[in-house]
Structures are given as C-alpha cells and as structure tokens.
Amino acid sequence: MQSAFSGRSAIVTGAASGIGLGLARALAARGAKLWLVDIDAAGLERAAQALGSACQAATLDVRDAPALQALIERVAREHGRLDYVFNNAGIGIGGEASELGVAHYDRSIDVNIRGVVNGTVAAYGVMVRQRSGHIVNTASLAGLTPVPLLVPYAMTKHAVVGLSTSLRAEAALHGVRVSALCPAAVETPLLDSSNPADLPPLRWRADVRHYLERLSGPPYPADRTAEDTLRGVERNQALIIVPGRARFTAVLNRWLPGVVRWATQQALREEMKRGGR
C-alpha cells in the first residue's frame, strides 16, 4: 500500500540531528520529497548526503522569519503544493530559576516559540490557499506537565501546545491539519548539551540526561520517535504523545495532578542533592 507521504513535499526544521534527522529518515523511506532546514551547516550537509537525492538542504535560522517564509513559498512553488511542515527546531535552556535572567528566557522564546510561529505562519498561509496540508509542531511532554529546573524550556513547550491545539480548530475549517508532537526524553544531543555559551553562565545546571531519566524513564530512540510521529500524523492526532509511558504520564497529570507534582518534586530534590544544592 502506498504511503500517505509518497511523492508529497515535506519541510523539516532542526533536521541535522535528533528528532529532526529521525523524521527526515522516516519520510525519505516513505518516498517524500524533502527539504531539510537547520542552522548547523556541517550537520545538515551530512544529513543531506546520507539521504541522497530524496532531499534538498537549506541552512538558515528559524528565528529569521523572512528567510523561512521565502523557503516555504519556494518549496510550494517548485513542488506545486506544500504538504507537510515539521517545525521541529528547538533549544533546551535550564538551570535554577533564581539564577536565570531575561536573556535565558529570551533565547528560549526566540527559538522555541518564535521559530515555531515563523514556520507556522508561513506554512499556514500557503495551506489555507490550497485548502490542504499538515503542520506538525514539536512541543514536548514538558508542554503538558511541570518540569522544574527547565522552566524556560517547559514554558515555551506549553506555548507550542497552546498554539497548535488552538490553531487546529480554525485550520480544520480550511482543510488544514495541525498537530503538536509531545515526546518524553528522546535520545538526542539535547540531553547532553549545556546552555549556549553566549548566555550568562550559571553556577550549576542539572544533569539533564539523569534528571529526565528519573522524570520520564530512559530516553526513547529518535528513529522510533519519528516512526511513532508519522503514524500519529497519518491518524491526524491533535497531540502525538510518545512513547506509551509519556501518554500515561499526560493522562495521570490530567486526572491526578497531585501525583505527578509529588513525583516531580522527588526528582527535583534528588537532582539538587546530587548537585550539592
């Protein structure tokens, strides 16, 4: 049976690594015509070479709204339509809230919210005109539950969920679909990264990998995340929550939020104790 993605145009931001690269691989395997976007030129080139003629690469910063809009309009023009846009590029910024300044929040907002907004606005206009298409915005389980020590990150991911679920209702009137991807910890470079070097340094930052493992279990492979995501896209799910244990946490937080708060507080205390805080 032919894939729903075969021959369709798809743009993936943050495609040089992690979930974005996993999505690119999964889409290429299904016969999609791909445009890969990332600020990491070297990583993007490696990804494009690995995927071969199935894709084209564009090095740009998703914070650059005109550049992203120009790319999206060019893809729609060259392909004749715009079928899928995966606004996946993101950044993880965290630390004790008492040490974080406005600059830390601004960077999180610029990449994780404005970057998604830029891609959504540009794609939505095209898709409304053609009365079809699907926008998938990468949020996080942290967009559905509280995650202390990653307050800027969690804040932005809640915003992405709100954007996606609210726009989805309007978009349906125009034949356009919108979904929010909400994964738990995924095996990506984000787990071992630090805050950007040009931001004010912190005295201490949690071991994100260890901390998130305690909160949500072992990191889920990026390729399996991508496969689960595309199944959710095919089913037009409003919230694509992966893996199964993340769906359990999301449901538990909805009906028994006190339990999730208690577990989160325990993980917080243990991580701060490990860090000598």
Residues written for the chain: 277
Residue corresponding to tokens 């369709």: 8
CA geometry: angle at 20 spanning 76 and 13, to 5°?
40
- With contact defined as beta carbons under 8 Å apart, do 120 and 69 qualify? no
Report the side by side order of strands in the sheet with 84-87: 55-59, 33-38, 9-13, 84-87, 134-138, 177-183, 239-242
Q: Using an 8 Å Cβ cutoff, are 94 and 157 in contact?
A: no
Give the DSSP letter string of 17-60.
SHHHHHHHHHHHHTT-EEEEEES-HHHHHHHHHHHGGGEEEEE-
Tell me the catalytic residues: 153
The dihedral through the CA atoms of 229, 235, 236, 242 has a sign that is negative
